[in-house]
Amino acid sequence: MEVWNAFIVSIASVWNDSGFQALTIGNVIMMLVGCFLLYMAFVKEYEPLLLSPIAFGCILANFPKTGFNDEMNVMMAIGFGIKYEIFPPIIFMGVGAMTDFGPMIADPDTMLLGAAAQFGVFIALAGAMVLGFDIKEAACIGIIGGADGPTSIYLTVKMAPHLLGAIAVAAYSYMSLVPLIQPPVMTLFTTQKEREVRMPQLRPVTKFERIVFPVVCTIVISLLLPPVASLVGMLMLGNLFRESGVTERLSDTAQNALINIVTIFLALGTGLTMEADSFLNVKTLMIIGLGLVAFIGGTAVGVLFGKLMYVATGGKVNPLIGSAGVSAVPMAARVSQMVVQKYCPGNFLLMNAMGPNVAGVIGTAVAAGTMLAMLS
């Protein structure tokens, strides 16, 4: 009998110490959300390199009694990489090493298209304030429209860390849905004649221009908007590794091994913030909806500004490249090329679209820096 009682006590002790005893409906729902995101990543191939660690982090975050937030462990250390803004700048260095700024340097006018596409950020910001978000929360929601996950995370950690999970999921989800979201907006605001415009081949860019550009860009933006010096500085450092011609090993490391490792930690850490208590609320749905508004607004304004340039240049600019002003590099530029090919086979505008696309990366960082400077 004593053995039986001891056995019962042991079973009860194991049950009381287990996660099953503290599991809530909210935890179960969030685990299902994580499984759904895994399905989208692996089966539908929507940004699998990003959504898969976010999804698994979401599942891990909703296991009760793990102690992830109570004592120092690897999960808390990963969280520090986000909290103290270590991961996003390193991601930007890798992006810089992969980015060719040549098309933008060859045609500086396309920087205006990258700037115009950032208006979607401020459209969503205004909408978020109308719906009751405070100004800092609204700014973080608006930046989703730039289609730049690291910048969204960087700004949110500084201004509204409690919204990090929802904003990161929305940002990366819409980045993966660029080929579905943008084409209807692009065709809605353009005519067949405008879609058929053939743009001239870009001029060659000298090595001197390629090296001077990131240096000058870093100096100007960092002095103008100090809060984003780390983002822009690391972006341009990575680009210098690419363009110098003497740092191939550093460039290769930045754009391959390093960015892949840091992406795992950044995405996993983001997923770990998706706890049921902070994620399952009406605000999350509002953020996802406003993020879509921001993204559609940015695309629309980019195309409309492209139409303005079409008129100003006497029909020499194809307005469709304006949609590439969001900073989903190089996917947005490829979508511009895809839509052009659909209506005018044989018309190749990919390199022309890369100009506003890489300008959008800088533009989103500048928009984030402006918000930080004004609201911090």
Question: Is 272 a member of any domain?
Answer: no
User: Residue 310 corresponds to which tokens in the numbers above?
Assistant: 């079409």
Name the band, by pLDDT with cuts 50, 70 and 90, for residue 1.
low
**Whole-model pTM over 0.85:** yes
User: Residue 231 corresponds to which tokens in the numbers above?
Assistant: 């983002």
DSSP string, 110-140: HHHHHHHTTHHHHHHHHHHHHTT--HHHHHH
Mean pLDDT of 129-154: 91
In the predicted structure, residue 132 carries a pLDDT above the cut 70: yes
Query: What is the reported pLDDT for 183?
Result: 94
Secondary structure (3-state) at 64: coil
In the predicted structure, residue 259 carries a pLDDT above the cut 70: yes
Question: Is 24 a member of any domain?
Answer: no
In the predicted structure, residue 376 carries a pLDDT above the cut 80: no
The closest alpha carbon to 320, from 291, 357, 346, 292, belongs to 357
Question: Is 12 a member of any domain?
Answer: no
Give the whole-number percent of the chain exceeding pLDDT 90: 71
How many domains does the chain divide into? 1
Query: What is the reported pLDDT for 278?
Result: 86
Question: Is 91 a member of any domain?
Answer: no
Query: What is the reported pLDDT for 307?
Result: 96
Question: Is 124 a member of any domain?
Answer: yes
Distances, alpha carbon 106 to alpha carbons 182, 353, 354, 355, in Å: 25, 12, 11, 8
The closest alpha carbon to 244, from 219, 210, 218, 213, belongs to 210
In the predicted structure, residue 334 carries a pLDDT above the cut 90: yes
The closest alpha carbon to 57, from 68, 65, 46, belongs to 68
Query: What is the reported pLDDT for 189?
Result: 95
Neighbours of 274 (CB within 10 A): 27
Q: Lowest-pLDDT range, 63-72, 209-218, 247-256?
A: 63-72
**Domain limits for position 332:** 99-246+278-375
Query: What is the reported pLDDT for 92?
Result: 95
Question: Is 48 a member of any domain?
Answer: no
Name the band, by pLDDT with cuts 50, 70 and 90, for residue 18.
confident
Query: What is the reported pLDDT for 8?
Result: 76
Name the band, by pLDDT with cuts 50, 70 and 90, for residue 247.
very high
Query: What is the reported pLDDT for 17?
Result: 73
Question: Is 41 a member of any domain?
Answer: no
Are the C-beta atoms of 55 and 37 separated by less than 8 Å? yes
Question: Is 144 a member of any domain?
Answer: yes
